[in-house]
Structure 1
């Protein structure tokens, strides 16, 4: 089930976010990621939560003014079960605008995931002080 984030979800999502970032960005010093990053980095965003059997297994945070996927995380125990795809579809549903996101180029699993779903590389690239080089992807 995918639903809007509720107040009671903040703590478990913050833990999922922290663990997901530490696992995903394995080349980064884990002490650079903090539990309170979730609240700071998702402020003002629309957040949808994937829940299975009472367990929060993932979320998507979308900055709606630009239809920008800021965060998409699925707990590692739930990888490969279609949750990331479902969260993307739900978070971007019924919107005719082009969606975009930025992905760390060293995060090859995420780059491959987005390519499988039809996201295309744009011309925009950059460098994050924490995770390194990134590229912008978009989807019509």
Structure 2
């Protein structure tokens, strides 16, 4: 299993393509968003496939493609250097896809990138900590509570 993961990680490092989302990608990206929210965001009541279009409106969306499959995406609000969404398809976590999407977002803005993470999402917090982000605010009143992170590398 470890050798298989290493092999796939090496292939992804050389063959993963990041590109701007196209209209024909919308359904695949919306499915990744919906499935992740259904499995990991218990506070979201009745998530729908159409939520992606609403939640990313006006943002620049980059997709991560391996072979012919979209395996992740990021949605960036450039005017306020805010990474709104970053999702990796179920079963594809741990291969560096999120880090590649994050690097794209960092390069797309001139100011330090900011993002929010729900307090209960410990995996996301560990990921952003590893990637050099630092917590700058905690919103106690938001439901669910969240932490704002800022890129400590810029």
1:93: which partner in 2? Answer: 107
Greater length-normalized contact order (CA 8 Å, ≥ 6 residues apart):
1
Q: CA deviation at 1:51?
A: 0.4
Please report the TM-score for the alignment, with normalisation by the length of structure 1.
0.91
Aligned-residue Cα RMSD (Å) equals 1.5
1:38 aligns with 2:52: yes
Alignment of 1:63-74 (within 5 A): 63-74=77-88
1:110: which partner in 2? Answer: 124
Determine if contact 2:64/2:70 at 8 Å carries over to the other structure: yes
Tell which structure's C-alpha radius of gyration is larger: 2
Indicate how the Cα distance of structure 1 residues 127 and 2 shifts in structure 2: closer, same or farther if over 3 A, else same.
farther
Please report the TM-score for the alignment, with normalisation by the length of structure 2.
0.83
Q: CA deviation at 1:50?
A: 0.2
Match of 2:148 among 124, 129, 136: 136
Match of 1:56 among 64, 70, 73: 70
Gaps of 5+ in 2: 1-16
1:81 aligns with 2:91: no
- Structure number with higher strand proportion: 1
1:3 aligns with 2:3: no
Gaps of 5+ in 1: none
